[in-house]
Chain A
Amino acid sequence: MIPPAARPRSTAGIVSRTLAAVTDLGVVLVLLGVVLLVAAGARFVVSPLSFHWPAPSWPLSVLVAGIVAVTYLALGWATVGRTVGDAVLGLRVLSRGGGHPGWVRSVLRAVLCVVFPLGLLWVLVSPWRRSLQDVVLRTTVTYDWDDAIGSPRDR
């Protein structure tokens, strides 16, 4: 049975979008761990005798984390319209006209989400359940799943 709110073109609420964001945060942390391992491996290959575990400074860490997060979110939205968190919660990012958001809009949206994640709270007061990023970039997030879990649309 398809819940009423799950029908296409229904905008997603604050709970679903927050859970998707938290899931994406976990994915980004995993990606950062991979980046750290790759950096350590590269350092070991280059100079194995003087190898020590990388200890990046806070600014560098924040910069790298921001780049990884923006890249991850932009890639997901620009290619398939959803990140891993969106896919788990059955969400999809669309342009205001219901089409694909495109690369530029996806990158800008990713930057805004990383720089000011609290903009998501605007969903609570927005009449159309839009975050500040959605208002600025004219995008929307909809429920995009039905009872047929595992269908091509969900993959």
Chain B
Amino acid sequence: MRATRARPALVLATGAAVLGAELAWRAGRPLRTMSAAAARIAGSAADVLVPAELTEELAARGFAATAATRRRVEALVSAVIGRTVEAFLAATDLTALVVEHVELDRVAAGLDVDGVIARVDLDAVLRRVDLDAVMRRVDLDAVATRLDPDRVVARVDLDAVLQRVDLDAVVARLDLDRVVAGVDLDAVVARLDLVGLARGVIDAIDLPGIVRESTGTLTSDTVRGVRSEAQQADEVVARVVDRLLRRSSTRAAVPP
């Protein structure tokens, strides 16, 4: 495969340039060593031979020139990098690149969703939401038709709900007068068979029999008591009068 494929000229040229640079770097090593040594010697000699004022002057000029050069190089590098990035972005479909080369599942798995949610200010979010507009867009009829009330009710613990309800308070807040005013009592009464009901009750308790029996008993007992007491009083009074008049008490019978 290596023998059958032709190399582009640019690649070959690049390889040659790299090889030449490496050779030049290796060949220049003794020269660099010598120049560094010469510089150190020159520096030491300058410290000895050159006057202090001149040294200061030279150092200041050197620092200034170095700083200016650094600024120019940095501006140049910055411009080159900016242009390069722009050209790269223009020529590249980053989205496709990400989709193709980034494992989004691993990225998502590494996300701390809870932490993200904890940092969200839901109140602020809700304040920005127009719930009325949302509700207008909701088709409640469609939602209701999809609901299974039986399942919903089956999941509700009605006992627990009732225990939490303060029925006394609910009843206290009821306006029973208004409730009763809303009831059509005439219609209710009209639907009742009052005559049949009363007749059934009377038949069941035999009211005439009870009245007859109680009245008869009361009358006979009362009358008997009154008569008996009156006759005994008659006898007592008669005995007293007989005693006062000093006569015998043999006068009750009707004379022949």
Contact = CB atoms under 8 A, between A and B. Distances in A.
A90 B227 contact: yes
Nearest to B221: A149
Contacts, number: 77
B230 A10 contact: no
A128 B255 CA distance: 8
Interface stretch (A27-35, A44-52, A101-109, A140-148): A140-148
A98 B256 CA distance: 9
B224 interface: yes
A45 B255 CA distance: 55
Interface string B231-255: 1111101100100010100011111
A94 B251 CA distance: 17
A101 to B, nearest CB: 14
A129 interface: yes
A16 interface: yes
A13 B227 contact: no
Contacts of B82: none
Tell me if B's interface is mostly helix, strand, loop or mixed.
helix
A19 interface: yes
Contacts of A78: none
Interface residues of A, number: 29
Contact of B237 (A13, A90, A142): A13
B79 interface: no
A155 to B, nearest CB: 12
Interface residues of B, number: 24
Given A19-B226, A143-B231, A13 B238 contact: yes
Nearest to B251: A127
B174 to A, nearest CB: 51
A134 to B, nearest CB: 11
B227 A14 contact: no
A5 B234 contact: yes
Given A11-B254, A128-B251, A5 B235 contact: yes
Chain A CB within 10 Å, residue with most, of B228, B231, B232, B241? B231
A88 interface: yes
22 contacts: A5-B235, A6-B227, A9-B253, A10-B253, A10-B254, A11-B251, A13-B234, A13-B235, A14-B234, A14-B237, A14-B238, A15-B230, A15-B237, A19-B230, A88-B226, A90-B223, A94-B254, A98-B254, A127-B251, A149-B219, A149-B224, A150-B216
Interface of B: 216, 219-220, 223-224, 226-228, 230-235, 237-238, 241, 245, 247, 251-255
